[in-house]
Each structure stands twice: as structure tokens, then as C-alpha cells.
């Protein structure tokens, strides 16, 4: 068994046990394998184990892998911050965008989504930790952006996404994840039909799932430690 295959099994077991702890069905959590910085061969190995959805942070790196792996029919999620001069490539090549935090970017993605593709699935990123350096909209501004994004014709708003404070303790992580769930429920109470809470990474997926995550974004625990400085 390859390392990637063993790691995928271990992550799947962690997801199952976090679900069990709070009485959720394991199928209620989707695993997104974050393949940024890893070569196409590693994605191929994970795909051979049945992994279907992959996340990328950098546009050109992602587009190159999508082209190299086209015959596998994989689902590609763009999870990094997106600048307006890169929206077209993302609209043309990805199925999902997770880190929307500006209406201008959403409008460009909607206008640039090719008509032969289904609507681009998107999440609004919320800055739950309140750190000034973090992207994402403030919790109090989430509803305004979410309703505006939901009205765009070629986007399908699926839910909310967050990256909590990296060194937060467990109680603080729980509070941040739980705020996300409250925000999602509020939006659904206002008539939106959102089914996705994109939250939880290698170190905190268990807590995220216990607090309601429906999609976890996992890189290190599947592919190993990345050999570069996060920008
Ligand atoms: C890199 C990244 C991940 C994966 O993080 P790991 O700690 O390696 O699991 C998840 N989400 C986002 C937005 C990322 O940039």
C-alpha cells in the first residue's frame, strides 16, 4: 500500500469517528484532498484510491494539473485567494470556488463562466477569527454578500468557508466553527438553501466535523508536509 493510500484510509477513519462522536452519518462529510504543491502523479495515486475531489490554491498550478489529469474526470476546487485578473481561468477550469469574499470577484466569475458548463459552485469565506490579516468577510457582513452572490446567474452559492486562527486552542476553534454553523442557519432562515460548511484542515478536522463541517479540506494528512513557506 502506498503512503497516500494509507493516509487516505486514516483520514477517512478520522472523519468516521468524528461523525460517530456526534451521531452524524460519515457520508455527511465530503473529503476534499488539497493537492497544492504536489505533482500530478500524487493526485493520480489518490484518484486510484477512489478520491474524487481535489483542492488547489494557485491558479496556474491548478490549471496545469487539471489539464494533465483530464481523463480521470476529477472534480477541482479552487480554495485560495483569487485576484480579479485570474478569475477567467478559474471560471473556465474549476467546478468550485471556496474563498469568495468580494462581490466584484463573484460578478466576474459569473460573467466568465462558460455557458456549456454547469454553474460554478461557490462558498463565501468568513473571517471568523477576526484577525486583521485574514481574508474573508466579517460575520456581520456575510448576509449582504451571500444574498448578492446567490442572485448571480452563473454561480450557485452552496455555503460558507472559513480558515480559523492557526494556533487557536480547542475552545476557541469550537467557538469559531460553531459561529459558522449559526451563520449558515441564519442564511437558510432568510430563504437561501445552503448545504455546505467548508471548514476543517489536517489539524482540526475532528473538531470542525463535531461542530457541523460538511466538507473538510485536507492536505498534509494525505500528501505529507509541504516543502515551502505559505505565502
Ligand atoms: C493548504 C490549505 C488547506 C490544507 O491544509 P492542511 O493543513 O495541509 O490540511 C486547507 N484549506 C486551505 C484554504 C488551504 O490553503
Check residue 13 and give its pLDDT. Answer: 98
Check residue 131 and give its pLDDT. Answer: 84
From residue 31, give the alpha-carbon distance in Å to each of 26, 38, 82: 10, 17, 22
Check residue 230 and give its pLDDT. Answer: 52
- Kindly state if the Cβ of 220 falls inside 6 Å of ligand 1: yes
141 CA from centroid of ligand 1 (Å): 24
Atom of ligand 1 nearest to the CA of 202: 9
- Kindly state if the Cβ of 58 falls inside 6 Å of ligand 1: no
Residues of the chain with pLDDT under 70: 1, 228-231
Domain at 3-223, CATH class: alpha beta
146 CA from centroid of ligand 1 (Å): 23
- Kindly state if the Cβ of 7 falls inside 6 Å of ligand 1: no
CA atoms within 13 A on the CB side of 24: 20
Check residue 1 and give its pLDDT. Answer: 62
Helix axes 3-21, 40-48, angle to 10 degrees: 60
Check residue 133 and give its pLDDT. Answer: 82
Q: What is the distance between the alpha carbons of residues 77 and 30, in angstroms, rounded to a whole number?
A: 12
Check residue 227 and give its pLDDT. Answer: 81
Q: What is the distance between the alpha carbons of residues 221 and 64, in angstroms, rounded to a whole number?
A: 23
Atom 7, ligand 1: residue with shortest CA distance: 202
Amino acid at each position: 500500500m502506498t503512503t497516500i493510500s494509507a493516509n487516505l484510509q486514516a483520514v477517512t477513519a478520522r472523519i468516521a469517528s468524528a461523525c460517530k462522536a456526534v451521531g452524524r452519518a460519515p457520508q455527511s462529510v465530503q473529503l476534499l484532498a488539497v493537492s497544492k504543491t504536489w505533482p500530478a502523479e500524487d493526485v493520480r495515486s489518490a484518484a486510484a484510491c477512489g478520491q474524487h475531489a481535489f483542492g488547489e490554491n494557485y491558479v496556474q498550478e491548478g490549471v496545469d494539473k487539471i489539464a494533465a489529469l483530464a481523463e480521470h474526470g476529477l472534480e477541482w476546487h479552487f480554495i485560495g485567494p483569487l485576484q480579479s485578473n485570474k478569475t477567467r481561468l478559474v471560471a473556465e477550469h474549476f467546478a468550485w470556488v471556496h474563498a469568495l469574499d468580494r462581490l466584484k470577484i463573484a460578478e466576474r466569475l459569473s460573467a466568465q463562466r462558460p455557458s456549456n458548463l454547469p454553474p460554478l459552485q461557490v462558498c463565501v469565506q468568513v473571517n471568523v477569527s477576526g484577525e486583521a490579516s485574514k481574508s474573508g468577510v466579517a460575520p456581520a457582513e456575510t448576509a449582504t454578500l451571500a444574498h448578492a452572490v446567490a442572485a448571480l446567474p452563473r454561480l450557485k452559492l452552496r455555503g460558507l468557508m472559513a480558515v480559523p486562527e492557526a494556533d487557536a486552542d480547542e475552545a476557541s476553534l469550537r467557538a469559531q466553527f460553531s459561529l459558522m454553523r449559526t451563520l449558515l442557519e441564519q442564511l437558510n432562515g432568510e430563504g437561501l438553501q445552503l448545504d455546505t460548511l467548508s471548514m476543517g484542515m489536517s489539524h482540526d478536522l475532528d473538531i470542525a466535523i463535531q461542530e457541523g463541517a460538511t466538507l473538510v479540506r485536507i492536505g498534509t494528512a494525505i500528501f505529507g508536509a509541504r516543502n515551502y513557506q505559505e505565502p
